[in-house]
Amino acid sequence: MNLYFWIPLGVLIVVFIFAFYKRYKMIKGLKDMPESEKLKNLRDSNFKNTISKGVTLVDFWAAWCTPCKIQGPIVNDVAESIGDKANICKLDVDSNKKTASQYGIRSIPTIIIFKDGEIAKKFTGVKTKGVLLKAVKELL
């Protein structure tokens, strides 16, 4: 094999390693972020009661999910911004399988915004703070 094969391959390997390291460093830094006092952790037992009145944003997540680790601080920021006007909540799908299956959560992170107990909006994947704030404010 000639030099024209090995140089691009080497560059690709270096780029891949750099991208992997950068992502690893970002995710590692997200582990120990404190949660907002306005952010509520839901369980199967208190889920229905919490979503029944007003506007409630629920982040369906799991501890092992890398995109959930990215979404978590964003939801935390949303809670700090509008946690007094709407319920901003998290539900661990591993610990609360009944509620997760009831709402058909198949991929995480999934964010569902409820208005008076009914599903108003549903998002799958990581969403920005702006998208979530806009969606909640439209329902207030």
Q: 89 an active-site residue? A: no
Give the number of other CB atoms < 10 A from CB of residue 121: 16
Annotated catalytic residue within 30, 62, 65, 120 = 65
- Name the strand (E) or helix (H) holding 115: strand 110-115
68 is catalytic: yes
Cβ pair 87, 54 in contact under 8 A: yes
Structural element, H or E, at residue 3: helix 3-30
The catalytic position among 68, 78, 89, 108 is 68
Strand partners, 131: none
Angle, vertex CA 95, rays to CA 93 and CA 101, nearest 5: 45
Amino acid identity, residue 18? F
Catalytic positions, please? 65, 68
